[in-house]
Amino acid sequence: MAVFGLLATSLGVVGLVAPDAQLALMGLAPAPGTVRAGNDQTLTFLTASSMAAVNMGVYYVLASLADWKAFFRWTVPFRLLTFTVFTLAVVTGRAPAGFLGVGIWEGIGAVATAVALRVEARRER
């Protein structure tokens, strides 16, 4: 959980500080130079989602420091939901293939968390 939190926070900071680098990581082509159409809201969206990533990353780190098992359990279905939404967005052509990495990351994270919780519960019996 702490590793995921640190990665989410770090990637959120990248999006805030170097938006074109973040766009490239997501498989999106950044606008050449600094020229953008007047109604282009890409940077607005990227700022909002990057700030959400920073916040979520901090939540994960704090939850791991507190060993907050209920939070860990809650993340499993929501990360599976995120996996489903991002994967379907790619499959249906709504998002570029780079978004599949986000879906896979969330799916693997959900499964790893569920397995870790199960192993730990068995160990405590």
Which residues have CB under 8 Å from 119's CB, separation 6+? none
pTM: 0.79
Q: How many domains, in total, are found in the chain?
A: 2
Domain shared by 60 and 72, yes or no: no
Domain of 19, in residue numbers: 1-29+40-67
Phi, psi of 36 (to 5 degrees): -135, 150
Determine contact, residues 14/59, Cβ cutoff 8 Å: no
Q: Residues 44-74: pLDDT tens digits?
A: 888 999 999 999 999 999 999 999 999 999 9
Distance of CA 31 to the CA centre of its chain: 23
Radius of gyration of the chain measured on its C-alpha atoms: 17
**Burial group, residue 98, by CB count within 10 angstroms (0-12, 13-18, 19+):** middle
Higher pLDDT, 49 or 29: 49
- Mean pLDDT over 91-120 rounds to 92
